[in-house]
Each structure stands twice: as structure tokens, then as C-alpha cells.
Amino acid sequence: MIDKINLRVQYPGGPSITIDTGIIQKLNCPVLLDHSEIPNAERLIPLTRGADITDKLPASGLKWRFTPGYYRRSADALNTALNKVAVYAPWKAFDPGPDYPIDVRFAAMPGLTKKDIRDHFPKGMLPPDMDINRGLSDGEIELVDTSGTTEEKITNIWNQKWWDASERSSWRFNSGFDRIVYGEHREALLVNPRSTGFISDDADLPMDKRRLSRFLYLNEKTDPATWTKDLMTRMVNELAIFQPDILEVNPSLLARLCRFISANNLTVFQPSVIVLTYEYTTRIEYRQIRKAFLSPMISSYGTTETGYVFTECEAGRLHQNSDFCRVDFQPFKREYGGPRTGRILVTPFDNPWCYFIRFDAGDIVTLEEGGSCPCGRDSGIILSSINGRKANLTLTTDGRPVTLAEVDEATAGPAGVEQYKLIQKDSFNYELHLVSRIREKGQLVLDAQKALKGLYGMDAVVDVCFDDDFPPEISGKSLISRALFPIDLDSYLEE
Ligand SMILES: [Zn+2]
């Protein structure tokens, strides 16, 4: 035992704690925890005197507050998964054991991939006593297919009751929701019907065929490039008739409608809040939406698999919905953009039909510097930004990964751009596709090339081409940046 030691230690995504008693432990990864904050700390093992562990800490240097319930739910989720759910049987070999703090046990686990889910669904993803047929016949659950390519596509069990509870909990992170009564609110959705809603690419559906309880789906077309003036006028009119409390949107679709609204000087009904979800919102899209709407815009990050994970507050930061999910953060190595930027892995809590441990939805985030938010909410992880997805990554000419957020910052400058798409063809060749209505495009090309060379390297070759419009990806979401070759994210992350 050590008499006295003062160390401030940080576990990625976990608490930062000052150790000042002898009740500490040495672990096979660099984490120290004291017994006042960790439930089973009375079983800790003493640290070897003099062991220098501080150098090994990945240390984003940030402190997050979690309730005791957060650790209990984390432990419940992991113990149930390891002991009862078949897909996790091989993971037991990674578990240091129940004597270890839960953060350490989670850190030792791999991430659950969509392939794991596809290979084991449904039986291998549930405890043996959960009967999927009973759940389906009782109406407690339904099966939903997520959109996307074969690689991305999976079948999930949809538990509406749990989903609603997760959504309701996410509302406490933004006062924009305060005046809306959950469950009684009217909600209009401007989303790709491949994600949710009704698909009808040939015939236009009348408004009553696009209603579902308190929801109105404004769009039934899978390709927004086919929207006609009449269809967009219809959307504006229906907003005025339906008067939704919430307008939930793919930002790329709302930006498209807003370009039409601005070009025609239309006035549009202002909902209490606009929820931006499903895809990254570019700076250009944000500006286009702001021209038509004064409503508060709230970014909501989640997935069909994990429910509501992060919600934007009034101060523009994103707060973890920590009553409903655990988030583990894996920073990039320092030389690749860490340690505040990295990948998140999500573990939903207390959904009897879902046992996902460290689900990798492929999203990259940046932690809020300083670890606190001006809004004062202090439970869970706080992000300064969500930076796009793994699928959006590109590389500089000297091999550093570049997130969509960085591309977006570089591309936001040149005036006259309506939409853009950045494709990296190989190590040195980049193709920037622009949609622009301005006539004289010479300066635009020079500005864009300069900005992207600043980002990717002066030896980058940047071709700028102009398109009339972009069709959506198979997923129905816009894919604003990507490389045409595989990028192994894991090789850029801290071990
Ligand atoms: Zn905040």
C-alpha cells in the first residue's frame, strides 16, 4: 500500500479523479480510480510504489461527471451481454473480470460492428429468454431495416417505448423543447423516405397519405434532385397548414427547400424548433436554412441502433444522453489529430430488446475543450462538434486523416457555392465537385484550390468540376467527402 499519492488521471471518455489515498490499484491499462467514486472499489489492489503510469495516459485532460447510476447501468449492460448474449461469448476472453472498474472492463472490449449484428441476428443478439416472436405478436417490437449499402444495412428490433423514452430524455438538453409537450406535439419530417416515411417516386402522394399519427412526412421522393417547383411549393403550403411544433430534417433536404424559398421570396411557417439529424450539416447548408428560418436549430445525433446519443444545447455544444447510453471515446493519436478528436462507441442502456456493447456507428467527434459548457449542464460527455463519419475520412498528401468537419471549414469560404462534394482518388489527387449558379467561375476555382491545398498539402492536385446537382447516396443521405480507397481508422487511433 502507498501512504499518499497525488495523481490526476483521466480515462478516455471516463472520469478524471485525483488519487490521494492509498486505496488505489495498478491495472493492465493506465487507469486509477478511488473508492469513493467506483462501486466495487473496496476490492482494489494496491499500486506498486514508484510505478510511473502518468506518461502512458492518453489523457485528453478532460473531466466528465457521471452519476453512480451510469456506472451501475454500464455494469448491468456488460454483465448481461457477456453472460447471456451469444455474440459476446468470444469477448469474455478480453474481460479482466468483475473485480475491475467498469471503465477498465469496457476499455478492454472490442467494438460491436454491423457485421457482427448481421451474422448473429436475431437469436445471437438476445438473451435466450427474450422471445422475438412473442415480442412481435404482442406488438411490443417490430423489425426495421436500416437504409444503406449491403455493407451498412442491418435489421434492428424497434422498441417504440424505449425509443420514445430516449427521445424524451434528450429534450432536457435544449430549452427549445421546453414549451413542447412530449407525445402531444405535431412533427413534420423533411427526410429521405428511405430512412423513414412513405416512398412514392412516380406519383405524388396527397397529404393525408403521408400522415402517421402526429407526424407528417413532407417528402416521398428518394431523389431530391427530382423535386419540382410544385412539389416544393406543396411542402411550404403544408407547413403552413400543419403548423408543426417540430420540423425534423435531413439538413441537405431542408437546405434544398430553403434555396427554393429564398429564390422565390416565399414566407414559410416557423416551427418551435428544427431538429437536424441523419447527416452532417455543412456550413453552407446552415446558412441556406438560416435565410428562411429563424427557429432554433438543434442538432440531434443518434442512430436507429442506439437511440438518442447527443443533443445540441443553446450554447452549440452536444451533450451525452447519459441516462440512456454509455459512450466510450477513442482518441486519434496525437500526430493524427488527437487527443480531443476521436471515435465514439455507444452502449445503449436498459432496452430489453437490444444488447449492443460499444457499437461502432462510425462517427468521429471532438470533445469540448475545458470539459464544461456555458449552458451549465454537466452530466456526461460534452462535445464541441460531431465531425462526420469514418466513411467521410480523406487523407492529406502526407497521410494524416482529415475529417469532414475540416473539409467543410476549408470549403465554406468561397462565395457562390450551393453544394459541394470532395472525392479523394488517390494519395495526391482530389476532385472537388461544386454546384454553383454564378457565371464567372474562374475565381471560385482558384479560391477552392487554394483552400484545399492549404488543408491537404501544397503538393495536392485539386481538380474542380461543376455539376448541375448531386443525386443522394444509396443510403438516402448525402456523402459530402470520401476517399475512393480504404482507410483503416484503427491505425490512427490510440491503442
Ligand atoms: Zn451546453
The pLDDT tens digits for 263-321 are 999 999 999 999 999 899 999 999 999 999 999 999 999 988 899 999 999 999 999 99
Element (H or E) spanning 422, and its range? strand 419-424
Task: For residue 374, report the distance from its CA to the centre of ligand 1, in Å.
Answer: 6
**Which pLDDT band, with edges at 50, 70 and 90, does 476 fall under?**
low
d(CA 360, CA 246): 29
Task: For residue 313, report the distance from its CA to the centre of ligand 1, in Å.
Answer: 5
d(CA 120, CA 36): 39
Q: What is the mean pLDDT of the segment spanning 107-116?
A: 92
pLDDT at 195: 85
Task: For residue 369, report the distance from its CA to the centre of ligand 1, in Å.
Answer: 12
Question: Which residues have CB under 8 Å from 90's CB, separation 6+?
Answer: none
d(CA 207, CA 205): 6
Task: For residue 371, report the distance from its CA to the centre of ligand 1, in Å.
Answer: 11
pLDDT at 416: 87
- In this predicted structure, the answer to whether residue 42 has a pLDDT above a threshold of 60 is no
Task: For residue 169, report the distance from its CA to the centre of ligand 1, in Å.
Answer: 15
Task: For residue 60, report the distance from its CA to the centre of ligand 1, in Å.
Answer: 19
The pLDDT tens digits for 256-277 are 999 999 999 999 999 999 999 9
**Which pLDDT band, with edges at 50, 70 and 90, does 150 fall under?**
low
Quick count: other Cβ atoms within 10 Å of Cβ 454? 11
The pLDDT tens digits for 48-89 are 323 333 333 334 667 788 999 999 999 999 999 999 999 999
Task: For residue 181, report the distance from its CA to the centre of ligand 1, in Å.
Answer: 21
Element (H or E) spanning 384, and its range? strand 382-389
Domains of the chain: 115-390 (3.40.50.12780), 394-492 (3.30.300.30)
Q: What is the percentage of the chain residues whose pLDDT exceeds 70?
A: 86
Kindly report each contact of residues 459-465 with a partner whose C-beta sits within 8 Å and lies 24 or more positions away, as own/partner.
459/397, 459/428, 460/396, 460/397, 460/428, 460/429, 460/430, 461/428, 461/429, 461/430, 462/430, 462/431, 462/432, 463/429, 463/430, 463/431, 463/432, 464/432, 464/434, 465/431, 465/432, 465/433, 465/434
Task: For residue 368, report the distance from its CA to the centre of ligand 1, in Å.
Answer: 10
The pLDDT tens digits for 170-212 are 999 999 999 999 999 999 999 999 888 999 999 999 999 999 9
Q: Cα angle vertex 298, ends 243, 326, to 5°?
A: 125
Task: For residue 404, report the distance from its CA to the centre of ligand 1, in Å.
Answer: 23
The pLDDT tens digits for 325-347 are 999 999 999 999 999 999 999 99
Task: For residue 175, report the distance from its CA to the centre of ligand 1, in Å.
Answer: 10
Question: Which residues have CB under 8 Å from 267's CB, separation 6+?
Answer: none
d(CA 139, CA 160): 10
Q: What is the mean pLDDT of the segment spanning 214-241?
A: 96
Task: For residue 372, report the distance from its CA to the centre of ligand 1, in Å.
Answer: 8
Task: For residue 219, report the distance from its CA to the centre of ligand 1, in Å.
Answer: 32
d(CA 335, CA 439): 42
The pLDDT tens digits for 51-61 are 333 333 334 66
Question: Which residues have CB under 8 Å from 239's CB, separation 6+?
Answer: 188, 218, 247, 268, 269, 271
Task: For residue 161, report the distance from its CA to the centre of ligand 1, in Å.
Answer: 27
- Name the H helices within 157-312: 160-170, 229-242, 251-263, 283-292
d(CA 331, CA 453): 26
pTM of the model: 0.86
- Name the H helices within 434-476: 442-456
Q: Which of 456, 455, 407, 403 is nearest to 434 (CA)?
A: 407
Q: What is the mean pLDDT of the segment spanning 377-387?
A: 95
- In this predicted structure, the answer to whether residue 395 has a pLDDT above a threshold of 90 is yes
